[in-house]
Amino acid sequence: MRILIAEDDFASRKVILKFLSLYGECDVTVDGMEAIDAFMMALEEDEPYDLICLDVMMPIMDGYQALKNIRDIEKEHNIPDDKQTKIIMTTALNEEKNVKKAFELGCTVYCAKPIDMDKLKSTIEKLELI
């Protein structure tokens, strides 16, 4: 499994990377713009990501903007819905409006911080990635 972790907080990034490295090859970015660049490179190399963990609050471009851009790129490349990258939004923003916005933009799962690794593993299993 190919995984992209987009997280600006060092501690969160380290914990997520250590955990997800057990299940696949991980790339790491620290803002939404880098995440989009990594996503495009993976598509161009014909090795798309299976999973993206996308933080909402990041510098330069936030997770919502990155999510929208990624979904738009998938549409431009005629990637069918069932073949789209699974995207887990990770954030401390747990208000209903934030959750709703993430799903409207196309996230697969919304995961509150601090991240419960057992729940994350269960989520990845439900997505049939492991």
For residue range 81-109, list pLDDT tens digits in order. 999 999 999 988 778 898 899 999 999 99
Q: 86 has which bridge partners?
A: 51
CA distance 58 to 9: 8
pLDDT at 94: 77
Residue % of the chain over a pLDDT of 70 = 100
CB 84 within 8 A of CB 74: yes
Q: 28 has which bridge partners?
A: 5
Neighbours of 114 (CB within 10 A): 10
Of 100, 93, 18, give the one whose Cα is nearest residue 55. 93
- Alpha-carbon separation of residue 82 from 30, 57, 85, 103 (angstroms): 27, 27, 9, 16
Residue % of the chain over a pLDDT of 90 = 89
